[in-house]
Amino acid sequence: MVDDPSAPGGKRLTFTGVAGHVMEMVSKAMNFTYTFIRPDDRSWGLLKSDGTWTGMLGLITRGEVEFTPGPFFMDLTRAQGADYSAFIFMGGYQILAALGRPEVDPWGFLMPLSPLVWAILLTSLAAVLTVMLLLPSCLPVHAQDLARRETNIFNCVRVLLQEGN
């Protein structure tokens, strides 16, 4: 409710959001003015046993208003009292369920790389190991033992996996 000296009671009902924006755009496009009216019972509208309607649908069926924008759910009963337009907004109503438990795959580390990449990686690892085994033969005899002790498959894998000592 906003202050409006020209409105009855000095207050005017306004809306923001989708319905308010739609009314503003449609009124400008079709060159008409409008006033928001709130039904006395403040409901969307239900069919009573005597065949009359309550709420906003009551305002429409009695001819007190021409139309009303709003989040009306389409159902057969309401369609007997008023005509629906095409959707102006689609809400994201969904049913939620609990998430499943995460499953750990012990071989999941293999997934990021393709088989060809794994083959090239293992071939490169074998080539580096071969070079490391042959290289000490080029060293002096007293340094060959130390170089051979440090050369093994585990050191190559450690470097590949970027692990420390």
Superfamily (CATH H level) for 2-79: Periplasmic binding protein-like II (3.40.190.10)
What is the distance between the alpha carbons of residues 85 and 50, in angstroms, rounded to a whole number? 27
> Can you give the pLDDT of all 165 residues of the chain as single tens digits?
778 787 777 777 777 777 778 778 888 988 988 777 788 888 888 888 998 888 888 888 888 888 777 667 777 777 777 777 766 665 655 555 555 677 788 877 778 888 898 899 889 888 888 887 787 777 787 777 766 666 666 777 777 777 776
Cα-based distances in Å from 152 to 29, 51, 99, 147: 81, 91, 46, 10
User: Domain-by-domain residue ranges, the chain?
Assistant: 2-79, 108-160
